[in-house]
């Protein structure tokens, strides 16, 4: 069986499951199993497939059919030009979050410290550390399933400390402050923001991800409300808070910040949706 035949067969099987994404996912899988990139893969489609490849594809098809995200099958994904390790129990980074990173990098370009709450894979801290020379920060994550990925992804960034912490627990926030030794300049956070009632209606691949990384409470705003109210426990007197928000949530989160004395700015994602909210306290 040639690689082309493997590719066509896999795409046809996956189309009823993944629709228009079937071709892209097929190429991602095939390139991964051939240890090459998509461009080189397309140039070698008439080569005979190694014996193990059809079996690996069949295994991946079964997992995808059960709702397992392709990123979990591969064990990694790409975010802000960096390969990020992910797996069951760890939220998969989305491209929209790159907007938050772009703003954070700009805010930290002249130095300063940051803390990432609800860090998950640690992809935001990774991207900041990779793109801001000399920056120092901390990444806090509660889940014992996600934390090994946070630690693995940030292992090569000694300037970023990883801490297990519940951002809804003031004692954990106080402990984070005490361990760091001073307040932070910038807080970055992509918290769970999906309303509890909406989770059951999500795509099966999204539902396969940890519910704790999705569930933002009754109206999706629980984490924003708590973090804004308690930010002073870990931040300097003059500081900034940078949130990713869900569709339609930007005005609500912006108002929460304004009530607490912050000047506010909002940034749109690649689709024109208000996706990032910045609060500044001077």
Stated as kind and residue range, the H or E segment containing 65 is helix 53-65
pLDDT, residue 213, reads: 81
Positions in the chain short of pLDDT 50: none
Report the candidate in 240, 241, 239, 249 with the shortest Cα–Cα distance to residue 269: 249
Q: Over the range 246-262, which residues count as b (16 or more CB within 10 Å of their CB) and which as e?
A: beebbebbbebbeeeeb
Which DSSP symbol is given to 187? E
pLDDT digits (tens, 9 = 90+) for 111-166: 999 999 999 999 999 999 999 999 999 999 999 999 999 999 999 999 999 999 99
- Report the alpha-carbon distance of residue 94 to residue 192 in Å, rounded: 13
- Report the alpha-carbon distance of residue 102 to residue 69 in Å, rounded: 26
User: 216 burial class (0-12, 13-18, 19+ CB within 10 angstroms)?
Assistant: buried
| Other beta carbons within 10 Å of 238 | 10
The residue ranges of every structural domain in the chain are 3-66, 89-281
- As its CATH architecture, domain 89-281 has 3-Layer(aba) Sandwich (3.40)
pLDDT, residue 16, reads: 93
């Amino acid at each position: 069986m040639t690689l082309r035949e493997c590719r066509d067969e896999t795409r046809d099987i996956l189309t009823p499951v993944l629709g228009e994404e079937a071709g892209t996912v097929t190429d991602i899988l095939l390139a991964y199993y051939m240890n090459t990139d998509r461009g080189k893969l397309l140039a070698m489609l008439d080569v005979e497939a190694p014996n193990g490849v059809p079996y690996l594809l069949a295994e991946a098809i079964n997992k995808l059919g059960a709702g397992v995200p392709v990123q979990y099958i591969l064990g990694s994904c790409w975010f802000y030009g960096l390969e990020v390790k992910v797996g069951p129990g760890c939220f998969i980074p989305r491209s929209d979050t790159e907007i938050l990173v772009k703003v954070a990098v700009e805010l930290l370009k002249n130095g300063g410290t940051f803390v990432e709450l609800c860090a998950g894979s640690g992809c935001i801290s990774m991207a900041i550390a990779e793109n801001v020379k000399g920056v120092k920060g901390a990444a806090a994550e509660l889940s014992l399933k996600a934390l090994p990925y946070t630690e693995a992804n940030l292992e090569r960034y000694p300037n970023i400390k990883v801490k297990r912490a519940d951002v809804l627990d003031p004692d954990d926030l106080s402990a984070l402050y005490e361990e760091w030794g001073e307040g932070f300049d910038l807080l970055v956070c992509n918290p769970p923001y999906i309303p509890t009632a909406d989770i059951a209606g999500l795509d099966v691949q999204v539902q396969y991800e940890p519910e704790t990384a999705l569930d933002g409470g009754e109206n999706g705003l629980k984490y924003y409300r708590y973090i804004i109210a308690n930010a002073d426990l870990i931040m300097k007197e003059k500081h900034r808070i940078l949130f990713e928000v869900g569709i339609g949530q930007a005005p609500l989160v912006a108002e929460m910040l304004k009530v607490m004395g912050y000047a506010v700015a909002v940034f749109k994602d690649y689709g024109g949706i208000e996706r990032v909210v910045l609060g500044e306290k001077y």
